Chains A and B, each alone.
Chain A
Amino acid sequence: MKAKLAVLAAKAAALAAGAAGGKSSSMPGAVALRICPNLIEVLSKQVRKGIIVTCGTNGKTTTNNLMCSALEGKGYKVVCNKLGANMINGVATAFALAAGSDGRIDADYAAIEIDEASAPKVFKYMRPDVMVITNLFRDQLDRYGEIDITADLLKSAIEMVPKLTLVLNGDDPLCAQFGVKENRKSVFYGISEQVLPQTDDTKEGRFCPVCGAQMWFDYYHYSQLGKYECPKCAFKRPRIDVEVKNVDLGTPMRFTINNKPMVLNYKGFYNIYNMIAVYAGLSALGEDTNDFQNLLKGYKPQIGRMEEIVLCGKPVILNLAKNPAGFNQAIQTVLTDKRKKDIIIAINDNANDGRDVSWLWDVDFELVADEYMNTLTCTGKRLYDIALRFKYSDVKVDEITSDMKSAIEKAIKTDSEVCYVLVNYSAMYTTEDIMLELKKKYGGA
């Protein structure tokens, strides 16, 4: 009875918020949990086949939504927190809004992304069958403290669910450590060849998570992802169950998963991880993966993930990155584009971005200034910090402005062929609004 009331209240709250133009997808859940604190427990128990959750610093939203899309492609009904609200209120929102007005869930699966720090709180109410951990990178230090704290939070969450199957990025020692305990079923995925040039970026996890010794790496993909082995204890990159080889990062992207060829229209090396996390997740759920390439075709990327809008005939590509690893990957992707390009970088320091922007110095920003770069513009609330970041790498900044709209307008009028807009979290929505507004003004082609 309480659950039904809570579901109705959440639906009403979502309607009201929608009418007011709000974008928050955690508020309806907050309302529902006040009425029925164990709502997640009640509703998640009604899911018929299984619950799969995704945690990890980068790629959570893409992986989880891809998972949902793949399961829906198989004809299942899926509960999913698609908008990425991933703390306990956001999870409650997803379940409450998926329930019928009778307060009951009619779903085969739930695909839920969870913020690492919230995992123990959510697992108190919801017992997932499978948990995907994508990677652990340095993220928003001023909110969570150190990466060890995040790992401990995940460990305590995992301990709460004895029958949980783990799906882990085997290339990330910080992830693989969760699978070293016996008696727990783990599926490891990874990319088993060197693909990218070896850079000197932040490598948080170069020390053995088991014994603390410095590990040996045969190669890195990026950050601490790669092929590693501890010289002191037995810890090393595990046997890989879902293995990628033969990577070609062209358009379309090609690679093999367990020797099966894939041809996919995605950008960015890191997207391979998102895709194989889903592949491994489906296997862990006992689902068939023979039609995997077809399942991915139905997926539409979230906003801000290399999202392209054409303005005045020029493609303007918006990409969101939330931390050094994400930005380094975005920059690598920009570098593979050999067209003449304008680049705009926007950095904010709002609460959901992290107030501390020290990490700007852990990103190889200066690499964007290759021979194909036309103009470089710095914007966002920390426009001067990013401008200084370039100045001290001897890269000339063409403009420092707090006006994103004029920055994009200028960029689409240059003689370049493409414009990249790289933003962090809170700059994403405002930038997308500006791009859509400009689309009305300048039209598509």
Chain B
Amino acid sequence: MGVHKVKRVVNILHMYPDLLNLYGDKGNIECLKKRLEWRGIEVNVKSCTFQDNSIDLDNTDIVFLGGGSDREQKIVCEALLKQKQRLKEYVENSGVLLAVCGGYQLLGKYYQLEDEKIEGLSILDIYTEQGKKRLIGNIVLHNDEIGADIVGFENHGGRTYTGNYKNLGSVVKGYGNTGKSGFEGVVYKNVFATYLHGPLLPKNPKLCDHILKRVLEKKYPDNSSLAPLDDETEIKANEYMKEIILSK
């Protein structure tokens, strides 16, 4: 008889998919979900929508905050400001949060637009300023901790200044946080925030598993192993894009 293991369950909270849905965020949610399910871990994906506005962080293991248009981002921000304290506690308590694009900007102190300042959640001590041109294109990062190159697509008007935080990666090709700093994203405790939008995780299985590992270590410290998966297509996708991006 093998060691009897308790059934593991992971609850994902997708924040405002009705508002923040600009860049195929479904790709990230599906990737988190499937890579758990394929390992026999039960997954519940719940949505907090603009209408129900129900945020149950006590029973949440991963929070996902996506990107939206400026208008939609403002609506979300107003709703989320009321939950600011609880989200902050969740983060300080090592809750896992993946924030993409607009969601990344929202975590900071503010987003200074040309004619208006959108107040952020101040969960991270970072801020964003609108730049002259949008930074758009394929991007390659290197992340030492997971020992992998991360490929993705960025499209942002904001320049995000991240102070002394650890970054998601150093920019090998592309723009990153400000277009100049040479770094992309922020990693703080179990918060992963990035401008790489949409289907970031499917082509970066190592990053996805790194995040999932953090989830399991927090929830099941004695039972946090992740069985290996057949990632042939994912790795091919990653290397193929890297080759194309770096050859330009």
Contacts and interface: CB of A to CB of B under 8 A. Distances in A.
A261 interface: no
Nearest to A358: B198
A160 interface: no
A335 to B, nearest CB: 20
A141 B237 contact: no
Given A385-B203, A388-B199, A388-B202, A358 B233 contact: no
Contact of A388 (B23, B26, B155, B237): B237
Interface stretch (B114-122, B131-139, B214-222): B131-139
A212 interface: yes
B153 A355 contact: yes
Contacts of A145: 134
B70 interface: yes
- Which of B23, B31, B34 gathers most chain A CB within 10 Å? B23
A356 B155 contact: yes
A361 B24 contact: yes
B199 A362 contact: no
B236 A361 contact: no
Contacts of B30: 361, 392-393
Interface in A108-156: 141-142, 145-148
Contact of B199 (A146, A148, A207, A358): A358
Contacts of A202: 21
Interface string B31-55: 1001000000000000000110000
A372 interface: no
B83 interface: no
Contacts of A361: 24-27, 30, 198-199
Contacts of A212: 71, 75
B26 A362 contact: yes
Interface string A364-402: 000000000000000000001101110111100000100
Contact of A384 (B23, B24, B197, B240): B240
A262 to B, nearest CB: 36
B166 to A, nearest CB: 26
Contacts of B234: 388
A360 B198 CA distance: 9
A71 B195 CA distance: 49
Q: Interface size for chain B: under 10, 10 to 19, 20 to 34, or 35 or more residues?
A: 35 or more
Nearest to A363: B24
Contacts of A392: 27, 30-31, 34, 202
A206 interface: yes
A166 to B, nearest CB: 24
Contact of B155 (A141, A214, A357, A400): A141
A394 B33 CA distance: 12
A174 to B, nearest CB: 13
B92 interface: no
B89 interface: no
Contacts of B34: 392, 394
A400 B70 contact: no
Nearest to B134: A145
Contact of B51 (A214, A358, A388, A391): A214
A431 to B, nearest CB: 21
B69 A358 contact: no
Max chain B C-beta neighbours (<10 A), residue from A146, A207, A384, A393: A384
A148 B237 contact: no
Given A141-B155, A361-B198, A355 B137 contact: yes
A389 B138 CA distance: 18
Contact of B24 (A207, A355, A362): A362
Contact of A356 (B71, B198, B203): B198
28 contacts: A142-B136, A142-B155, A146-B70, A147-B69, A207-B72, A212-B71, A214-B18, A355-B137, A355-B138, A356-B23, A357-B153, A358-B198, A359-B198, A360-B199, A361-B24, A361-B25, A361-B27, A361-B199, A362-B24, A384-B203, A384-B236, A385-B237, A388-B199, A388-B237, A389-B202, A392-B30, A392-B34, A392-B202
Interface of B: 18, 21-27, 30-31, 34, 50-51, 69-72, 75, 134, 136-138, 153, 155, 197-199, 202-203, 233-234, 236-237, 240-241
List 6 tightest A-B contacts by C-beta distance, closest first: A358-B198, A361-B24, A384-B237, A358-B24, A361-B27, A358-B23
Given A214-B51, A361-B25, A388-B202, 12 more contacts: A141-B23, A148-B69, A148-B71, A214-B50, A356-B136, A359-B24, A361-B199, A384-B237, A384-B240, A388-B234, A391-B202, A393-B30
